[in-house]
Structures are given as C-alpha cells and as structure tokens.
Chains A and B, each alone.
Chain A
C-alpha cells in the first residue's frame, strides 16, 4: 500500500458552493484526510469535471478517489473510474438537502459536511481496489433436477439458448405429476374446456434436442463445488454412478399430492368411492372419454361431489396450513370431465372460498358454471357410508342449514406438499470429514450447512416471491415450480423460464469471477486471515448462503463464488479476520473514528447511523429529495447489510463519545425483506447482546436502537433520527468524550 495516493474532489454545483464553505472543506481533505491532491469544481459530474479527475488518475497516479458531492446512489455513471477505489462523501443528500438554509444553522451544516469529507478520506485510506475472485468457473452445462413439466421446460429453454443440459429424474419416465393427468386446465383463450397436457409435446422436444441428456431412475448422491464449477454424482437405481460437472443447478423437484389417508373423517380409506384428485385423474384416463365408473362396483357415476380444501387451510394436526392454489381450478376441470361426457350428471363442488388464480381463472370458473356445475359454499363435517354410495354431511353456509347428500363418487381436493428434501434446520448436519449420503435429500450438497436448500415456510424452499423468486440461499442453485410455492402447470412453465435465465446469468458471471445477485458485478470477495482465526465457527454458521465450509481442523473454508458479498461473516467474526478489499472493519471503523467529536460542553451530540444501503440509505436519500430534514448531529454510514455490522463498531463508537447509535436494516422474519435473507436477523440477535456492553460502560440502553426500515419509510427514517436526538437531549451527553 506504499503507493496509495488520495485525490479529493469537491463539487460546488447543486447549491453546494453557496451553502458550504468549500475552501474549508478542501483544507480539511488535505490536512485531516491527508489527500495529496484536492480540487474543487463548479460542476463535478459534467464531462469536464470527470475529465479533471481522470487526468489526475492518469497523470498524478491518484488511486483513491474521494468525491465530495452527491449521494453514492447518484451519478454513478459519471463517477465510474477504473482501477481506483471510489469513496463518496454525501454532501448533497446527506447535508444541504436535509438541513434548512438558515444563517444560524450554517455552522452545524458546515460541520456535517466537514465530517463527511473526513469520513470519505478515511474510507479511501483503508480500501484497496478489488481484484476479481480467484476461483472462476467456466462450465456451461446446467443440471436440472426433476423431469416434470417444470424441469423439462427449464431444460428446453436452456438448450434453446445454447447451454447443454442434464435432466435427472427419479422415476422411470419424464412427465412428473402432470404426466398422470387426463387433461389440463386450458392455458390459452378460450378458457372454456379442459385441454391436453403439454407433457407429450415437451417429452418429444426434450428427446429431439441433442443438447439435453436425460438420466431416468436416477438421483443425485452428491453435489459439491460452487457456481461455474459444480460437480454432481448421478446414481441410477442399478447402482451405477457417474460424475458430471455443471455451471448451475435448477431444482424443479415439484410437489407430491397430500396423503389423503390422513383424512378418515372424509371417508378416505373407508369407502372405495371416496378418491383424491390423483385417483380421479386415473379414473378419467381409464374411461378415456367414456362414462367414468366408480371404483367400488363399476357403476357409471351419475352424481359426483367434490370437497375443496380437503386437509388444507386448516390448523388441525397433520393438515396443510396453506392453500395449494390450483385445487379449485382442478376440481372445476374434473367436474367438466363428467359434464362434457354427459350433461345430466350432477356435479357439485363444495367450497369454502373458491380461488381461481392465474390466466384461466374466472373465465374457467364461469365456463364451469355455464356447464351447470353446481357450486355450493359448504363446510363438510364428515363423509360416511350411505345406502347407495358415500353420504356427505355438510353445512350450507349461505342457507345456514345442515345438509346430507348421497353421491356416487366423492372427490377430495387435496393439496400439494413440496419435494424440498431434508429440512436442514431440523436435521443434524454431518461433521466435517464424516459426510454421508442421505436418501431423503434432493441435492445431497456436501456444504457445511446441510444437504438441501433451506426451507422457508410449510416446507417450501426459501424464495422471496417479489424481489428474488428463483434465487435460493445457495448461490448458483435455482428453484422453480411447486417446490418453491404451490402453483399450476402454466405458472410452473413460466417459473421454469425465469429460473433458467437466472441460471444462465450465474454461469456467465462465474466465468468472470463476479457476483451475480444481488450485488451484481461486485468483484470483491471475503478475504480471510487464517492466522488470527479462533475456529469459533460463527461465520460458517451465520453465512446465510452456506458459502463457508469447514476443514477438518475446523478452520473456515471460503467458497468465493458461492458468496453474495453481504459481509455477514465479517459482522459475525469476533476477532475481525474477515474483510473485503473495499469494505472491512477498518473502512467503516475509521469513518466512525474520523468524525470530529466536540467536547461535552459544546452541546453538540453525535449520532451514528449505520444504514443498510439497500433500503434505509435510499429512504434517507429520498427524504432529502423531498425536503424532509433530520438532526444536524447525525452521521450516516451506509453498510452492505445490517448483517455486516460488527459489534466492534458499536463499542468503538460508544467509546469514542458518540451519544446515540441507530442501526437501520430491513424487515426480518418469515416475511423478510432483507436482501441477504438472514442479515438483518443476525444483526438483531447481535445487537440484543449490546446491552451488556452498555451496562459495562454505565450507559443508557436507549443510546443504541435497531430499526426495520422499508425503502418507503421516507418520513419515518428521518423521524427516528430526530427521536434519537431528542432522547439524547433528555439523557444528556455521553461521558466518553475526550
């Protein structure tokens, strides 16, 4: 780091020149920030301004650029210099826009700007230019796990784009669940009649494509590696195992129908004429367009009753808590099997809430009504044996009366259970060096954190349904189809296409050694100083993405390409041996230390805000754009994720005399909004332990607060800062000022 050369550039545009004393800021950059070159410019982001900076980089050897202008989120294209680090002192959104332009406030506004310049220079001093990760992968092949509609679509889409694919299918044939259906809900207008499933067409396409290799009766007995260089052992039933290399993995393992034998109260298992929806498909296939016959005595069905939400949307033990999303459409379709064959057959659908999502939705429901399928809002209490067939007892919720009806056949609309492998949070993991194959696992990953993808709710694989549906918590492995949420065939097909695009993106990024998501293009990766490590395992346990393994001596083994660059490991490390080239305990710690702390009697407290750069920091920027103001005593430092906040920063800040500290992260829990899934949760756990620190320092608990901030909290985020300023005023200044 001998040839480090800082260049500080102060912009006078956007009103900065009028509101701030830029000459003083330049002096501070030179004197406190130790910048070798300091320049001011009237319009820094103009072509001229940018040229000025570039000239210094080329001629003066500047390799640490500090820009004192607008927020780091603005003008990123103008201030995009290669092979240097860039630090942004946020003078516009962070200072002049959030402070009123009044004469008696000029002094504190100027102090704010001065601190941001010092912080920018401090960050520059402790950053280095990131080189891309060393473990580049170059494999183009995609592994698709599961040969149902979802898997086949993913394979076809990938192959069409030119990427070779291997499909691994557990059973002896392609087609999956949809392959067992007689007909499907229509996917195109007019949404009136059941149509053929796309299975036959998809199988033909898969078989005709030379880029797709299919492994039938096969499972995956081991997966290792990282994006761009995965290796998977594919074992067939016969015992043979082949090892193939892949760039990315798409898990399309689908769902299994709920086991209806858990529903004896609905007559399943007691009467042969109570069937689940899969068995009805089989009856329809057997009838092949002719009259459907009931299983017990082969009598042609004249009256059929469908019971919706069978074993679903219920809190009862063994039942599914959730709605499987496609059963209403499926029952309408199955009722049409009867009506289309003979309109005189009575078909009744007993529903609780009729839900028909997706493209066919209401139109298909209308078509069912048009064909005189009877829809009745009824809560079924039991199905018992009647004189001529099953007798359904239910309460009509509209007419508010108890009804008994006999039918020839009763169909239970059962839900879907995700095939998501083992729940790694519930099953103990193999110790390093003692890894074993699990028959229940889908992927058999040899990762330290477990063999399968983490589950979120109800056994479905983790997936953020708005922000990142396909990205799992294992980089380079994508889920699609009913394994990540209940869905019908059309949705599964769309889903497969999306996941395939993500997989391709990952492969291409892995080739150049950069992050794909969500810090797209980031070249930094965690650097680990093994000599200092105490083998505490916190990083391996807390990494939300299972990127860190352990060697047999329990030292962490970082897998750079599996990393999402959130820094949760850095925040977890008690001995601070993990860092990124441009983001480390020092780059933030030094910013904290370089803020000027006036002494106790100046009545100028200092409030440190560590704001998540994904939501909280933009919210504060937008607050500035809208003219909301917050305390002149706040100093805001963006962090990659609240998970990357190391408690040392909090301790250091308290020790150096900060009066209040606010941590702003994203929502945690099942409905998390954290871009790194577990980051804000981890931070919350760690911060709950900060109370002890505060106690040792005899400081009030209220001096450190953690908040969940959404990007829309434009009013709330500044208010929380002001609340802290008020609280500090009440509590009095910190006694730790020197």
Chain B
C-alpha cells in the first residue's frame, strides 16, 4: 500500500491502541471504553455493521490493526449521535468512527467498494471544484457510480421526478455546463490548499 502505512506500522510495532490514540481524531478516548455495549445496542444500523463500535474498540485494544482499518464498519455510521448521547463513559463514539474512517483513508486502507466511502469522495470532489455543491452533477455521478448500465437504469427510473423538478424550477439543466460557484473560487481553492498543507504538517506525513 502506501509508504505512510508502512511508516506507521514500523513506528508503533503492534501497539495499535497507541497508534489510534496518536493519529485518530478523539482516538485517545478508545482506552476509556468499558465494554458495556450500550453503543452497539443503540445504533440504528447496528445489525448491518460487521463490527459494532464496542467490538471495534475491543479490536483496537487487541491490536487487530488491519481488521479494523480495512473494515467497512465505521463507514456505516450515519451520525445519528445515539451512541454519544447514551455512552455512560462519555465517549464521542460518532467522532471516533469518522476519525477511524479518515485515518484508514489516509493510510490507503479504506475499502474501495464501500458506497459511503465512494459517495463521500464524489461529494468532496464536487464541492471543492467551485465551492458550491452542484446538485445536478452530484446526482448524476451518484447514479453512474457503479457503471453506465446501472446509471442509465437509475436515470430512467428517476426521470419523472427530474422533469417535474425542471418544470417547477427546482433544478436547472444549465447547471450541467459549469454551474454556479462561490464568489471567490480562487481564494477558496487557496484556502483548501493551505489547510491541506497544515494538516500534512500536523501528521508529519512525508511523500505520498
């Protein structure tokens, strides 16, 4: 995978809890989990996770690095905040899940075909272009996310809604050509670039 991943493996040598603590947003909370399982029981999508949060925390402590980071679980979080509201130990579980997802993405370990991960990338790419979300393009790229055939099928299925939106001026076909942007696109891009630099400096990421 990436050099960065290897770097981290060499740096922490099996102490995954420490790695999470140092690198994952809110990761220093993981050690405070007392394994009561309230988070797993509270998660509305819990049954669809490979590893519910309680298990993820235990796996981190048991040093199961690849299993955790390559897992699709934390990508399943919908930020409903049920777990945070209920955790008796006050762990910011939602934030930790997103932190883990971000970290696995940074390491290049995030699952390639996970739809949430894919969509997140599409959303990011769409937004960063002009500083505004282009809904027409975002919608279309979502339809065609899994290939042309499925894209056409979904488009036909949604065509009535689309036409109605055009009629009521909820959507403009002209958005496809360029589309609206924020006032200072250049400034916006520069800002993102600076943020990226700062972030990279913070995590000490070299190369890649």
Give the A-B contact count at a CB cut-off of 8 A: 33
Partner of B61, one of A365, A370, A374: A374
A377 contacts B by Cβ under 8 Å: yes
Which residues in chain A, 377-401, are within 8 Å of chain B measured between CB atoms?
377, 396, 398-399
Interface size class of B (residues with CB under 8 A): 10 to 19
Q: Report B30-46 CB contacts with A as 1/0, cut-off 8 Å.
A: 01101100000000000
Partner of B34, one of A370, A374, A375, A396: A375
B34, A354: Cβ atoms closer than 8 Å: yes
B31, A369: Cβ atoms closer than 8 Å: yes
B58, A372: Cβ atoms closer than 8 Å: no
B62, A396: Cβ atoms closer than 8 Å: yes
B39 CB to nearest chain A CB (Å): 12
Partner of A372, one of B31, B34, B54, B62: B31
**A403 / chain B contacts, CB cutoff of 8 Å:** 62
B34, A376: Cβ atoms closer than 8 Å: no
A328 CB to nearest chain B CB (Å): 12
A366 contacts B by Cβ under 8 Å: yes
**A375 / chain B contacts, CB cutoff of 8 Å:** 34-35, 61
B32, A376: Cβ atoms closer than 8 Å: no
CB-based nearest B residue for A399: B58
Docked CA distance A366–B89 (Å):
9
Which residues in chain A, 336-359, are within 8 Å of chain B measured between CB atoms?
354
B179 CB to nearest chain A CB (Å): 48
B96 contacts A by Cβ under 8 Å: no
B34, A365: Cβ atoms closer than 8 Å: yes
Docked CA distance A365–B34 (Å):
9
**B34 / chain A contacts, CB cutoff of 8 Å:** 354, 365, 369, 375
Docked CA distance A370–B17 (Å):
12
Given contacts A374-B61, A376-B61, A376-B62, contact A399 B55 (CB under 8 A): yes
A398, B55: Cβ atoms closer than 8 Å: yes
A316 CB to nearest chain B CB (Å): 25
**A376 / chain B contacts, CB cutoff of 8 Å:** 58, 61-62
Which residues in chain B, 22-73, are within 8 Å of chain A measured between CB atoms?
31-32, 34-35, 54-55, 58-59, 61-62
A398, B32: Cβ atoms closer than 8 Å: no
CB-based nearest A residue for B89: A366
**B58 / chain A contacts, CB cutoff of 8 Å:** 376-377, 396, 398-399
A372, B17: Cβ atoms closer than 8 Å: yes
Docked CA distance A366–B17 (Å):
16
Docked CA distance A370–B29 (Å):
9
CB-based nearest B residue for A373: B31
A366, B32: Cβ atoms closer than 8 Å: yes
CB-based nearest A residue for B64: A399
**A354 / chain B contacts, CB cutoff of 8 Å:** 34
B53 CB to nearest chain A CB (Å): 11
B31, A370: Cβ atoms closer than 8 Å: yes
Which residues in chain B, 69-108, are within 8 Å of chain A measured between CB atoms?
89
CB-based nearest B residue for A405: B62
CB-based nearest B residue for A401: B62
Residues on B close to A: CB < 8 A? 17-18, 31-32, 34-35, 54-55, 58-59, 61-62, 89
What 5 A-B pairs have minimum CB-CB distances, sorted nearest first?
A398-B58, A369-B31, A369-B32, A374-B61, A377-B35
* Other A-B pairs beyond A374-B17, A396-B62, 15, CB < 8 Å: A354-B34, A366-B32, A366-B89, A369-B31, A369-B32, A372-B17, A375-B34, A375-B61, A376-B62, A377-B35, A377-B58, A396-B58, A398-B35, A398-B55, A399-B55
Residues on A close to B: CB < 8 A? 354, 365-366, 369-370, 372, 374-377, 396, 398-399, 403
A-B contact pairs, 6 of them (CB 8 A): A365-B34, A369-B31, A375-B34, A376-B61, A396-B58, A399-B62
